[in-house]
Every structure is written in structure tokens, then in C-alpha cells.
Chains A and B, each alone.
Chain A
Amino acid sequence: MNTNRSIVILMAEDDPDDRLLTKDALAEAHLANTLIFVEDGEELMDYLYRKGGYNEENAPRPGLILLDLNMPRKDGREALEEIKADPDLRSIPVVVLTTSKAEEDILRSYDLGVSGYITKPVQFERLIQVMQALGRYWFEIVELPH
């Protein structure tokens, strides 16, 4: 459980409401992980490469990336492609969390190597459940590379 706390969840989400709701849901789910937000694909890559204001100190390597697909500047699809093309970053599990239910997006995301694809639930209650499930799966059940 001690190690769990140190695992950072990095969420790329441009919608402040969704950021707030996700943060609330994580709290409600009683997960103690650190949740860090970036607002678009560009910022996500900056974080991962520790550029543009991010460094070893303020940008710890995330244990899980929650990725929205539709974002300004650089969208989730492009960012995902870059992450999976990078030998250092590709081992970080990425779960897509988006409003899109399009078959094409689902197929493409798995093609690019996502670990999961979740459609944003309408009800908050369901969002809490999603966060709980994610926490249990990634931080209790599976073993992640260090």
C-alpha cells in the first residue's frame, strides 16, 4: 500500500469540469494516488519529456496516464502515437477516458497500444465506480514496471 501512494496518475483533460469531477471521484473512491493534470497533448508531452517548465522535481514519472482524445493543440491520438513510439515511455499504461463512442476511435486506440478504453460515464456515481475499478486493477491487481 505504501508504494501505491507514490504512484502518480497523470490525466490529460482539457475540460476543467471533467478535471474537477475526476478529482472528486478519485477522492470519493478513497484512492490516495497523486493526480496531476495536463490540459492538452502538447503539455502532456512536455511533462513526459520534462520540458517547458517541467523537471525531475515537479514531473514525476506517472504510473498511469488517463487520456482524453479530443483536446486542443495536440489531441490524444497524436500524443498516444508519440508515447507508444518512444521506447522509454511506451511501458507506461495509457487508458483512454473520452466522450467518444465511435468504433473508429476505439479500434484506433487499441491499435496504438492503449491498455483500456473507457467512455466517460454520464452519472457521477458511475465515475466513482470507474475510478475505483481503475485503482484496484492498476494499483492492486497488476504489477507495473518500475
Chain B
Amino acid sequence: MYTGLEERRAAADRAQEEALRVALLAKSNQMALIEGARQLITALTQLPEIQDSDPQMCSAFLSELLPLYPDYADLGLVTPDGNLICHSGFFDAGLNIADRPYFVDGLRTGEFVTGDFVISRIDGNIILPFVHPILDKNGEVQAVVLATQKLNWLEGVGSQANIPDEAVFLVLDHQGQILSRYPQTGDWIGESFPDMAAVRSAVDASGNGVAVLTGEDGIQRLYAFSFLDIGRNGAYISYGIPTELAYRSVNRNLLTNLATLSLITLVSLLAAWLIADYTILRKVHALVAATQRLAEGDLGARTGLTPSDVFAAGELSQLARSFDQMAAALQERDTKLRQAEAQYRMLVEQIPAITYVVSLENPTETLYISPQVENILGYAPQEWMSQKGIWGSHLHPDDRFRVLDEYHKMVNEGIPYRLEYRLYNRHGEIRWIQDAGNIVKDSTGTALFLQGIMVDITELKQTEAALKKYAVELERSNRELQDFAYIASHDLQEPLRKIQAFGERLQIKYGSSIDPGGRDYIERMCSSANRMQTLINDLLSYSRITTRANPFAQVDLNKVMRDVQEELEHQISRTNGWVEVGNLPVIEADRTQMQQLFRNLISNALKFNRPGVPPHVKVFIDENPETPEGNSTVSIYVSDNGIGFDEKYLDRIFLPFQRLHGHTVYDGSGIGLAISRKIVERHNGRITARSTPGVGSTFIITLPIHPSGHENGDTNEH
């Protein structure tokens, strides 16, 4: 209940306030018209056509001028006696205004004078007369310019202002006679406003006041009055809203279209300016006036004029249209700018980072910070901005000195900065921040402020740390595995050696006293021990590829191949084989391992020959490598005409101890290709093979010519 009453009272207060504001606007409109008249008439007093007082020329000029000013009933020139010299055509030829108070005042003061609203003696319309004497060289009144302005603007303003139902605009004379009314329902002109005493007591010293009164039409309204100090008696302008409406709620429509009201005012002013420089600078001044308004930020304002409106003449209306177009274009640009700004703002406030603006005069003062600061650091933007130096105080102690030092250095030198540091959030938790910013300057190069962006990289940092830890862990476990393989094979050798030694002792020393069955067992045991010895040795060689690696050096593969052929001389002659070697390149590699690699491949090629077909091994390089690396790698082919293999086993042949044939057919533990692949991989290369069973195999090794100084695996000696 209480709130309801309160609201009602507040609504009433606001209604009064707003009604008064509308009335004041209407008054200022009338005052502007008067000002327009003053300027028009003042300008006329300066024109030679008028000053010369030539009745004919003067009449012609004024008659031509009047259609441009539809607000005026007539323009004329009178003698100091009050007799009409010339006019634009509506005054009575025999008119004498010597008795009019405003004329008397004009002659007395020698200045522009506004009269009281009067009913025209010619057509009964309400008009406002103005006079401005023209003085001769001696300061004597030579003639008086006379103008009468129609009181018809209420109609135009009222209709455009879109006032609520039953609301009225009124112009009253000092006695309460209705001079003008909008809307023009009923024949109220000339009637009296019911309670003039109430009006007089309502207005204060400044001439404004509000009262709830019953109007001429019997409707109770909240009336706002404003006194017009013109002529000898003055007049009132009033805006009335039905009480019911006024007290119900705050209705935005009460304000009417304020822009329209002020617009008409301004148009009148503009017209006055135009005529003031009628002969020369009207266009320029019009543009200046219009531009001025735009500059004041009133982009929504238009002259609102059409050719049939105030300016009837073609040139002026064109100007008005140009003005409108310009204003429209500016408004559109402004709208786009606002949209762009809204988009930018959205972007700035949506990205998962804090954007900020810091004062240059006082670097501890944050001028703007985006809302993300709440998410990332736990502070509301207002909170952050209200605490000077909050950023510096939240820096991690280990980073503070470095960051502040770099930050100040870069700001002083005016270079963009990019910093990474830890910042405590509100809860004392550490956030990793990547901060980039720079000084924003205006077009003249004056530094304005510091603008930057802080990205929360905490998760990134955590991932990075985890990854680093994982990599170290992986390297350690890898090394352990290598060590294990090496040490295991070492230590496995010890007991194996004993088995072999004691087996041998048994065979030699006690062989004769054991029966053939027992000797067979011993033999099998010894042979198994020997095989195990081979396996362990193979495993050792396999693990030594990384544990006993040599640094890379320039290796001539042609020389390597000669050494390999020498090494395998016995096998080549035994198999009746032929190894054909093309021209090979010089690459950066581990020489020992290159020899091991090609020895394995060629030995294999010789070994897996077809019965009755002497092995023919070809080693050559691809002249036109079609590898993604282009010329930085070399592909070496080792092809044979041996038994070949089914390519479905391609994955298996490179694994340690994987064999495709029984021990009895082809010997070997199956480590050769595994070692070969490990060597190639240590050199950052690839090895693969193509094969057709019964036709032959081709092994393809792709090696980098310069393995980029980085070798795969460590060179630790064990």
C-alpha cells in the first residue's frame, strides 16, 4: 500500500516536471520565432532595397520575399508618422500604425520591438507585430520596418509532437483570452480561459508554474504555464495533460516528441540566419548552422522539411534535402560504428582472456578491465579497478622483481611487451599469466594509455610441466630398459658359461663312462646352451646399437660396401654369389653401424638364395627420390634374386628373433633385420622391403644425408 502511494506521488511529481518541460519547450519555440523575426527585420533594415524607401522597388522586393516566409502575415515599411510606404501586399494601403503601442515603443527606443498578440484587423487571425526603425546618419528615425508573424506554429508542432488524447497546447494573452490552441477542436479562439487568477498565482517569479485546473472545455488537467515576456502585457504558453493520465503513471508520451519541438525552433532560427545574409552567404551559413548541429551530436535531427514546407523556393529546399541526406549518412555511419563497437566489446568480453587499459600518468590505476577478470582472478572489474596497485601486489614474489623491472623498462621505452608470470587470484591460488600489451597513441603520436591482454595459461603450464615430467620419466624408463637388456645379458652369460664349461667337462672327463643315451642328453644340453649364448650375444648387439653408439661423421658408403664385401668374401664365394654395387653417396652416420647394417642385409641376401640359383645382389640408390623430404634424404636399395617372402610378414621380419624359416633350413637367430631397423631408426631413417616369393626381395633404406645433428638414442658407454 505504502509503495503504491509513494509511486503515485512520484508519478505526479514527474508528470508535473515533464509537463512544465514541454511548456518551456513550446515557449522556447515561440521565442525562437521571435528571434527569427528580429534577425529578419534587422537584416531588412540593412538592405538597400528597403533603405532607399523607394515604394515601388521596396514593394517588389517584399512581395518577392514573403512567400519564402509563410510564418509571416505581411512585411512592410512605414514612415516615422506610421504611414505605410510599401509592403508585401496584405496590409491596407491606408494603414497607419502611429497609435500602436509597439510602434510608439520602437520610435522611442530606436530598436527592435515586439508587440502583443493582436487580432488582425484585416483577416481576424492572431498575429504578432514587430518593428525595427531605420536610423539615418544623424540618428533620426528615417523609416520603420514592420512585420507581422502568424501564430500558427502550434498546429504544426502539435500535430508532429504526437501528444496524448485530451492533452492541449494553449497560447493565452495576459487576460486569459485563448489566442491559439492545439488541437483545434471546437471554436475556442477568442474565448477566455476559465480561471486566470489561478494561473497567475501558479506561476513563480521566473514565470513558470503548474496547476490542476478545469479547462475551457470542462476537462480537468494538469496545466503547466510559462509566461512569455513580450509586448507590454505579455502572454502565457501552456501545456495541459488530463489529470487522470498525469497521475496514473509516468507516460513517456507526455514528453511528446521533444526532438520535433526543438527542431521547429531551430528551423526558424536557420531561416532567420538565411535571410540575414540573404544576398551573399546564405548557403554557407546554412551549412555552417547545420553542421554545427551535427557537431553537437544531434545525429537524429533533420530539418524535416519538404519543398512545400517552410522553404518554398527550390534552392533552399534543395539545401534542406542535402542537409537531411548528410545527417542520415552520418547517422548511419554512427550506427555502424556503434555496431562495430558492440561487436568489438562482445569479442573483448567473450575471449577467455582479460583485456585492460592502464593509465600512463599513474600506472597503478586501471582504467578498464574486462569482466573475465572475475572468472580468472576472482575479482569483479569494479573491485579490481578500485584498488590501485592490485596487479603488482598479486605478483608471485619469485616473479615480481623481474616482471616489474621488464614492464617498466618496456613501458618507458614505449615498446610492446610480452611477459609470463604467476599471479595470485583472490583465493591465493597461483594462475600463470601471459601478458602482452603496448602503449596506444593518438594520430599525432601522443601516448594515451596502456592497453594489454592477459591470457590465463595455467592449464597450459600444468600440461607442459606434466609433459616434461612424463618425458623425463619416459627417458629414464627407456634407459632402464636398455640397461636392463645389457646387464641382463651380461649376467645371464655367467651361469651359462658354467653350464657350457661343466657340460664340456662332463663330456670329456666322464664321456666314456656314460652310455650313448646319457651322452645324447649332454650333447643336447650343450647345444642348447650354445644357442642361448648366441641369443644373448645377439641381444647384447641389439642393445649396444644405442648403448655403444658412436657419434655421426661423414661416411662414404662406397667404402663401407667395399669393407662389407671383403668381410663377406667367404660367404660370397661359397654361395657362388655376385654383389653388384652402384655409386653410393657420402652421408653423415655412425660408420660402424653402417657397416653392420649393410653386412646384415647383404649377408641375408646371400643366405636366402634359391637352391641352384646363384645369389645376385644389387645395391644402388634411387636417382629421383620421390620422398617428401626431397633431396635431403637418400634411398638405398638392396635387392636380391633369392627366395623372397610373403609381404604379409613385412611387419614381423623387423622384430627381434622373428624368423620365417626353421633353423634347419636357414640358420641365424633372427636378430639381423631387427638390428638393421634399429640402426636405421637411430639415424632418423626408415627401412622397408618389397618382395615376391620365389622371385626376390628388395630392402629400401631411406636415410637423411644430414641427420640434423640430432641422433636418436644416447651414446652412453656401459
Residues from chain B with a CB closer than 8 A to the CB of A15 are: 494
In the complex the two chains form, is B494's CB within 8 Å of A99's CB? yes
Known: A104-B717, A122-B533. A21 touches B501 (CB 8 A): yes
Nearest A residue to B507, CB-CB: A124
Least Cβ distance of A103 to chain B in Å? 7
Distance to closest chain A CB from B527 (angstroms): 14
User: In the assembly, what is the distance between CA of A123 and CA of B529, in Å?
Assistant: 12
A6 to chain B minimum Cβ distance, whole angstroms, is 29
Residues of the A chain whose Cβ atoms lie less than 8 Å from the Cβ of B508: 124
Name the interface residues of B516-541: CB closer than 8 Å to any CB of A. 533
A111-130 to B contact mask, C-beta < 8 Å, 1/0: 00000000010111101000
B494: which A residues are within 8 A, CB to CB? 15, 99
**Complex contact B501–A122 (CB within 8 A):** yes
CA distance A110 to B138 in the complex (A): 137
- Report the bound CA distance from A15 to B501 in whole Å: 14
* Chain A residues with CB under 8 A of B493: 99
Query: Is A78 close to B, CB under 8 A?
Result: no
Q: In the complex, are the beta carbons of A123 and B504 less than 8 A apart?
A: yes
Checking B501, B533, B718 against A127 with a beta-carbon cut-off of 8 angstroms, the contacting residue is B501
How far, in whole Å, are A24 and B504 apart by their CA atoms in the complex?
Answer: 13
Q: A99 to chain B: which residues have CB within 8 Å? A: 490, 493-494, 497
Taking a contact as CB atoms closer than 8 A, the residue among A21, A24, A102, A125 that contacts B718 in the complex is: A102
Query: Is A57 an interface residue, CB under 8 A from the partner?
Result: no
Per-residue CB contact flags for chain B residues 694-718 toward chain A (1 = under 8 Å, else 0) read: 0000000000000000000000011
The interface residues of chain B, by DSSP majority, are classed as helix
Q: Does B562 contact A (CB under 8 A)?
A: no
Is B717 a contact of A120 with CB atoms below 8 Å? Answer: no
Residues of A within 8 A of B502 (CB): 17, 21
| Chain B residues, CB < 8 A from A17 | 498, 501-502
Closest A residue to B548 using CB positions: A103
Report whether A124 and B501 are in contact in the complex, using a CB–CB cutoff of 8 Å.
yes
A24 / chain B contacts, CB cutoff of 8 Å:
505
Given contacts A24-B505, A99-B494, whether A123 and B717 have CB atoms under 8 Å apart is no
Does B434 interact with chain A (Cβ within 8 Å)?
no
Q: How far apart are the CA atoms of A56 and B662 in the complex, in Å?
A: 63
Q: When chains A and B are docked, how far (Å) is the Cα of A122 from the Cα of B534?
A: 12
Bound: A104/B504 CA distance, A? 31
Chain A contacts for B504, CB-based, 8 A: 123-125
Contact of A103 with B533 in the complex, beta carbons under 8 Å:
no
In the complex, A123 Cα to B496 Cα: how many Å? 11
Cβ distance B382 to chain A, nearest Cβ, rounded Å: 70
In whole Å, how far is B687's beta carbon from the nearest beta carbon of chain A? 29
The yes or no answer to B500 lying at the interface (CB within 8 A) is yes
Q: Closest approach, in angstroms, between the C-beta of A100 and any C-beta of chain B?
A: 9
A124 near B717: Cβ-Cβ < 8 Å: no
A123 cross-chain contacts in B, Cβ below 8 A? 500-501, 504
- Bits for A9-50, please: 1 = Cβ < 8 Å to B, else 0: 000000101000100100000000000000000000000000
Q: When chains A and B are docked, how far (Å) is the Cα of A103 from the Cα of B548? A: 11
CA distance A58 to B497 in the complex (A): 32
Task: List chain A residues, Cβ under 8 A from B500.
Answer: 122-124
Identity of the chain B residue whose Cβ is nearest the Cβ of A101 in the assembled complex:
B490
Give complex CA distance A24, B498 in Å.
13
- Residue contact A122 to B497, C-beta cutoff 8 Å: yes
A142 shortest CB reach to chain B, Å:
29
With a CB–CB cut-off of 8 A, which chain A residues contact B501? 17, 21, 122-124, 127
Q: Is the CB of B497 within 8 A of A120?
A: yes
Please, which residues of chain B bring their CB within 8 A of the CB of A103?
Answer: 717
**Using a CB–CB distance below 8 Å, which chain A residues touch chain B?**
15, 17, 21, 24, 99, 102-104, 120, 122-125, 127
Residues of chain B touching chain A, judged by Cβ–Cβ distance below 8 Å, are 490, 493-494, 497-498, 500-502, 504-505, 508, 533, 717-718
Not counting A21-B502, A21-B505, A127-B501, a sample of 7 additional A-B residue pairs whose C-beta atoms are within 8 angstroms of each other reads: A99-B493, A102-B718, A104-B717, A122-B497, A123-B500, A123-B504, A124-B508
**A/B interface sample: 20 pairs, CB < 8 A:** A15-B494, A17-B501, A17-B502, A21-B498, A21-B502, A21-B505, A24-B505, A99-B493, A99-B494, A102-B718, A103-B717, A104-B717, A122-B497, A122-B501, A122-B533, A123-B500, A123-B504, A124-B500, A124-B501, A124-B504
10 smallest beta-carbon distances between A and B, as pairs: A124-B501, A124-B504, A17-B498, A122-B497, A124-B505, A21-B501, A122-B500, A123-B504, A99-B494, A123-B500
